């Protein structure tokens, strides 16, 4: 897999904003990617050194909608989240630095 296929998008939440100062970043990644592939993709895309990667599957949330035909209930799709920690000597990722 290409690096751009592994890293889908950055995950921007209140909790992920708090990790920017300590060089901890969150990404939505391909479900089939493992930790080693994710680490290599981040290193290649952002030119940084990765210390560790933690991954988890985030379950989709229930969504309900009232329509004329009645109430419909569905779910958002599940996704895989990667929390990437950079080394101390690594430079920060510029995209996230502009947000803080």
27: in domain: yes
11: in domain: yes
76: in domain: yes
What is the rounded CA–CA span in Å between residue 75 and residue 92? Answer: 35
Residue 71's CATH number? 3.30.70.330
What is the rounded CA–CA span in Å between residue 26 and residue 3? Answer: 16
What digits encode the pLDDT tens for the residues 9-61?
Answer: 999 999 999 999 999 999 999 999 999 999 999 999 999 999 999 999 999 99
Terminus-to-terminus CA distance in the chain, angstroms?
31
Is 51 strand, coil or helix?
strand
100: in domain: no
21: in domain: yes
CA torsion angle 28 30 34 39 (round to 10): -50
Whole-model pTM over 0.75? yes
Is 25 strand, coil or helix?
strand
Phi first, then psi: give them for residue 43, nearest 5 degrees: -60, -40
Is the pLDDT score of 74 beyond 70? Answer: yes
The range of the structural domain enclosing residue 7 comes to 3-88
Is the pLDDT score of 95 beyond 90? Answer: no
DSSP state of 48: -
Return the structure tokens found at 25: 């970043």
40: in domain: yes
Return the H-helix or E-strand segment holding 54.
strand 50-58
């Amino acid at each position: 897999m290409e690096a751009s296929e592994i890293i889908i998008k950055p995950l921007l939440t209140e909790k992920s904003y708090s990790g920017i100062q300590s060089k901890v970043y969150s990404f939505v990644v391909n479900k089939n990617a493992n930790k080693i592939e994710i680490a290599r993709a981040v290193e290649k895309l952002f030119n940084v050194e990765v210390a560790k990667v933690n991954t988890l599957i985030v379950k989709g949330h229930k969504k309900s909608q009232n329509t004329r035909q009645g109430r419909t209930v569905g779910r958002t799709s599940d996704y895989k989240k990667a929390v990437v920690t950079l080394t101390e000597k690594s430079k920060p990722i510029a995209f996230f630095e502009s947000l803080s």
